[in-house]
């Protein structure tokens, strides 16, 4: 392991910065990270879900038969603000901590040489400056609130099904809860999603800029990614975010099945599409390293190819063409061992992956996307069909 040390790398963070973060620091709500995240989660629920419940109760839209979808029976809104929203906030600490570990590993693993350390730290400082800029968060807020500011607010939650968004059968009159949902809850949830996308962009930029400096990659590394295979673990940590998105999709599909007469087979395209798109979105940042990996592989194939050729020619000259000296045995001779080792190294180079992602990470991400769909499948599938399916798999 490298003895280099970088305080810049050890302070890397994509969440501890930006106008809103510094506003929290200003008001004393960011002293302890764990406490800060828990408080933010509770405040978020109190500001998004609780008012919807209170207003719905006041206007008689929380339960009962006054509308087809009362508030407490709306799968989509309750899952979004009681499950998905807390996950988007609570996941910040663990994901940011993992990002910091990965950045430090560049230095500790010797991927960054002493000569390149200033360039690597300059990359980190550049990403940090982008994180702290005001404009990105202003644009995210504008996009998040754009729908409320420029729409007519007459779209029903579920087609023509009456719901707690509106008063009675009048689709033009938003309820108090409907107004809060449109003006506060939805834009806030959308902002959190956009901010995670921005952080993913920053992480992608970090990987891209880091790949432009002279990293000390080893094509024969057994991770099949020249030493960058550790980056796959960072993407695996995004499984809670994938789960949160899957829960939102599954709850909306649940509403469509429960209240609009849709079928699971008719909605499976949306479910599958989410799983595929979410996985691709989280794998995409690692594509920033693909040009470097391909360049490393091409160069290594030539270098190791020449070395293998030279070694094999020497081996053939000694053991095949001129025959070994009398009394020499090939079995156990270092020549044979080095021939095998060199061949194995060349095979590793040939098997190098263009993207530093492993099967475990892909399975984790796909599983996180699919997990929220399981309760939906169980609820809408008749019990006898589930039993037959299980028996069929077992037999």
- The reply to whether 54 and 143 lie within a common domain is yes
Average pLDDT over residues 74-85: 95
Domain boundary among 195, 213, 231: 213
> What is the total count of domains within the chain?
2
Domain boundary among 213, 230, 260: 213
Each residue's pLDDT tens digit, 204-214: 999 999 999 99
- The reply to whether 188 and 242 lie within a common domain is no
CB distance 89 to 192 below 8 Å: yes
Count Cβ neighbours within 10 Å for each residue of 221-253 and write b for 16 or more, e otherwise: bebbbbbbbbbbbbbbbbbbbbbbbbbbbbbbb
d(CA 173, CA 56): 14
Average pLDDT over residues 47-58: 96
- The reply to whether 273 and 384 lie within a common domain is yes
Asked which of 43-52, 188-197, 321-330, 350-359 is least confident by mean pLDDT, the reply is: 321-330
- The reply to whether 201 and 226 lie within a common domain is no
Start-to-end Cα distance in the chain: 51
Most confident of 156-160, 235-239, 267-271, 286-290: 286-290
Higher confidence at residue 38 or residue 330?
38
- The reply to whether 366 and 284 lie within a common domain is yes
- The reply to whether 195 and 225 lie within a common domain is no
Higher confidence at residue 380 or residue 351?
351
pLDDT at 44: 94
pLDDT at 151: 58
Percent of the chain with pLDDT over 70: 81
> 155 pLDDT exceeds 50?
no
Average pLDDT over residues 373-381: 78
d(CA 124, CA 98): 15
- The reply to whether 237 and 321 lie within a common domain is yes
- The reply to whether 117 and 234 lie within a common domain is no
pLDDT at 332: 47
DSSP string, 321-346: IS-PPTT--STT-HHHHHHHHHHHHH
- The reply to whether 265 and 203 lie within a common domain is no
Domain boundary among 196, 213, 230: 213
Each residue's pLDDT tens digit, 165-201: 888 655 568 899 999 999 999 999 999 999 999 999 9
> 325 pLDDT exceeds 80?
no
Q: How confident is the model at residue 334 (pLDDT cuts 50, 70, 90)?
A: low
Higher confidence at residue 336 or residue 291?
291
- The reply to whether 311 and 206 lie within a common domain is no
Domain range for 140? 1-213
- The reply to whether 320 and 258 lie within a common domain is yes
- The reply to whether 154 and 224 lie within a common domain is no
């Amino acid at each position: 392991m490298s003895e280099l040390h970088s305080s810049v790398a050890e302070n890397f963070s994509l969440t501890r910065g930006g106008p809103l973060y510094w506003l929290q620091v200003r008001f004393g709500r960011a002293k302890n990270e764990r406490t800060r995240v828990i408080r933010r989660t509770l405040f978020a629920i109190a500001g998004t879900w609780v008012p919807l419940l209170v207003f719905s109760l006041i206007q008689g839209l929380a339960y009962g038969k006054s509308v087809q979808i009362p508030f407490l029976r709306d799968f989509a809104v309750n899952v979004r603000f009681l499950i998905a929203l807390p996950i988007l906030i609570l996941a910040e600490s663990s994901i940011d901590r993992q990002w910091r570990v990965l950045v430090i590993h560049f230095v500790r693993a010797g991927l960054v040489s002493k000569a390149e350390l200033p360039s690597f730290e300059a990359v980190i400082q550049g990403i940090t400056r982008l994180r702290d800029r005001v404009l990105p968060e202003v644009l995210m807020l504008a996009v998040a609130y754009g729908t409320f500011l420029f729409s007519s607010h007459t779209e029903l939650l579920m087609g023509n099904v009456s719901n707690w968004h509106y008063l009675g059968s009048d689709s033009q009159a938003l309820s108090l809860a409907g107004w809060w949902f449109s003006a506060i809850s939805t834009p806030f949830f959308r902002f959190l999603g956009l901010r995670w996308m921005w952080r993913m962009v920053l992480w992608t930029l970090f990987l891209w800029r880091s790949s432009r400096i002279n990293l000390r990659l080893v094509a024969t590394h057994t991770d099949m990614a020249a030493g960058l295979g550790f980056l796959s673990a960072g993407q695996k940590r995004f499984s809670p975010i994938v789960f949160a998105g899957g829960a939102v999709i599954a709850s909306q599909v649940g509403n469509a099945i429960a209240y609009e007469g849709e079928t699971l087979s008719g909605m499976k395209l949306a479910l599958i599409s989410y799983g595929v798109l979410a996985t691709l979105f989280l794998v995409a940042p690692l594509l920033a390293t693909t040009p470097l990996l391909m360049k490393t592989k091409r160069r290594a194939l030539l270098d190791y190819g020449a070395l293998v050729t030279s070694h094999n020619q020497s081996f053939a000259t000694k053991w095949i063409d001129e025959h070994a000296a009398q009394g020499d045995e090939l079995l156990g001779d270092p020549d044979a061992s080095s021939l095998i080792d060199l061949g194995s190294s060349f095979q590793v180079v040939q098997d190098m992956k263009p993207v530093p992602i492993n099967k475990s990470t892909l399975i984790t991400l796909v599983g996180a996307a699919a997990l929220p769909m399981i309760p939906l499948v169980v609820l809408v599938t008749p019990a006898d069909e589930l039993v037959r399916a299980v028996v069929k798999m077992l037999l």
